């Protein structure tokens, strides 16, 4: 495929809301299409930290269907009408949908099937990121099998789309990328004035960094307990000598689990060493990545984990839960970090010990993280997206028959 040649194709892309990584992906891809519309349902982010204020990005047109509203406050009837009106007005040659969970994606699929317009499904789900129920899997299989092509996050995500009905020759990867260039450049700027910024932001001399919304699956109480065990092991290993001290733990984010997290910190007696710094915006994040030593992501389940991409682009070694969907593609064990069982505190605390005791290992892993993530940038997404467009246009058409009509009526009543 020659990315230098523009396809005479108009694409409409549906998203909940445009956040920085969406902008980076489609900025790199839209120029290879004759016209690209990013249609977001709302422009609101739960914590405001990821909202993108761009009205247009040049390469693509941005359309917000319900400005200032939360998705849960929009009725299915209004949502369906807005999606259909947009598609009737734009008359695209291909439609991108982000998964199969949201009602508006079903409306887009229905419109595409009834108008003979192929659908490309973008997905970061993998088969094991949550318990699966037979009926729900059948519904997903109905949706996915009627898409003309798929753009998956990586290896496990592609395998799941294949199981749900996308054939290999119409299945591509590279969906889960971030703006590597931004994080690499900004982190280098930060490190060039590291002491000044460390003092300004009141950051420890050495620290592990975690960045997550404070929800149950992010497993932050576990992380704090493992960190407490790490401090105990570290101090015991010193045998009374103080040639080095254990690293602190800095956690960015907020959410409903904050009271539990604060209580865990108190009960573990690590108030002096665990720093909850609140949610941080896109502009501020490179400071915390760049001045950290290692990034930790401890989720009990995670479709991908884009914060791991960000940390690696900033040159950090990573300790990542084995249940994160990015592990098969982004982690090379003992080379740029390690995976761990997110219920095994001893394993994580031992890995924290291992990496914080070996500065040569740390430097080598930093270089390796950058090497690996270089292959997971905007160009990978662009190649996958454009290949999916071409494959979708060559795919056999799907009839909009009785089964489809009955299923869409059933989904409209849910």
DSSP string, 330-389: H--BTTTEEEE-TT-HHHHHHHHHHHHT-HHHHHHHHHHHHHHHTTSSHHHHHHHHHHHH
**Nearest CA-CA partner of 355 in 272, 294, 280:** 294
Segment 49-67 shows an average pLDDT of 75
Q: Give 53 or 376, the one with higher predicted confidence.
A: 376
The count of C-alpha atoms lying within 13 angstroms of the C-alpha of 19, restricted to the half-sphere facing its C-beta, is: 14
Question: Any idea which of 34-43, 133-142, 160-169, 232-241 has the lowest mean pLDDT?
Answer: 232-241
pLDDT digits (tens, 9 = 90+) for 203-236: 999 999 999 999 999 999 999 999 999 999 998 8
Q: What's the Cα-to-Cα distance from 133 to each of 139, 364, 365, 394, rounded to whole Å?
A: 10, 43, 39, 33
DSSP-derived letter for residue 268 is H
- The helix (H) or strand (E) run that includes residue 307 is helix 306-313
Judge whether 7-177+377-412 and 180-373 match in fold: yes
The band of 240, judged by pLDDT with boundaries at 50, 70 and 90, is very low
Q: Does residue 1 register a pLDDT over 50? A: no
Do the beta carbons of residue 161 and residue 214 sit within 8 Å? no
pLDDT digits (tens, 9 = 90+) for 18-37: 999 999 999 999 889 999 99
What is the spatial distance between Cα 222 and Cα 389, in angstroms, rounded to a whole number? Answer: 43
Segment 102-107 shows an average pLDDT of 93
Fold assignment, 180-373: Rossmann fold (3.40.50)
Domain boundaries, the chain: 7-177+377-412, 180-373
To the question of domain 7-177+377-412 being in CATH 2.60.120.260, the answer is no
């Amino acid at each position: 495929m020659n990315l230098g040649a523009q396809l005479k194709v108009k694409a409409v892309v549906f998203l909940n809301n445009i956040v920085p990584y969406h902008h980076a992906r489609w900025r790199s891809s839209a120029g290879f299409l004759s016209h690209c519309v990013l249609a977001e349902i709302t422009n609101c982010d739960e914590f405001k930290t990821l909202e993108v204020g761009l009205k247009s990005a040049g390469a693509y047109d941005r359309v917000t269907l319900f400005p200032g509203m939360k998705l849960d406050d929009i009725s299915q009837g209004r949502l369906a009408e807005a999606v259909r009106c947009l598609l009737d007005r734009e008359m695209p040659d291909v439609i991108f949908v982000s998964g199969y969970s949201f009602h508006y994606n079903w409306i887009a699929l229905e419109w595409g099937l009834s108008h003979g317009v192929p659908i490309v499904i973008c997905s970061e789900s993998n088969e094991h990121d949550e318990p699966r129920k037979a009926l729900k899997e059948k519904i997903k299989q109905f949706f996915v099998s009627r898409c003309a092509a798929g753009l998956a996050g990586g290896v496990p995500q592609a395998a799941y789309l294949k199981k749900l009905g996308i054939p290999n020759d119409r299945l591509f990867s590279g969906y889960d990328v971030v703006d590597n260039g931004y994080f690499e450049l900004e982190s280098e700027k930060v490190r060039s004035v590291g002491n000044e910024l460390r003092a300004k932001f009141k950051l420890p001399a050495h620290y592990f960094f975690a960045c997550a919304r404070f929800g149950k699956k992010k497993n932050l109480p576990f992380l704090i307990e493992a960190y407490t065990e790490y401090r105990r092991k570290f101090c015991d290993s010193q045998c009374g000598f103080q040639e080095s001290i254990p690293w602190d733990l800095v956690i960015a984010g907020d959410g409903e689990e904050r009271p539990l997290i604060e209580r865990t910190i108190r009960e573990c007696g690590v108030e002096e060493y665990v720093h909850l710094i609140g949610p941080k915006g896109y502009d501020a994040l490179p400071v915390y990545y760049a001045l950290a030593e290692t990034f930790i992501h401890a989720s009990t389940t995670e479709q991908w984990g884009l914060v791991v991409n960000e940390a690696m682009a900033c040159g950090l070694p990573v300790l990542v839960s084995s249940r994160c969907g990015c592990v098969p593609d982004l982690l090379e064990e003992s080379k740029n970090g390690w995976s761990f069982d997110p219920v095994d505190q001893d394993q994580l605390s031992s890995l924290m010990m291992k990496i914080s005791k070996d500065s040569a290992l740390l430097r080598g892993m930093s270089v390796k993280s950058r090497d690996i993530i270089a292959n997971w940038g905007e160009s990978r997404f662009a190649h996958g997206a454009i290949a999916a467009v071409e494959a979708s246009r060559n795919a056999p058409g799907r009839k909009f028959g009785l089964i489809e009509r009955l299923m869409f009526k059933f989904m409209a009543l849910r």
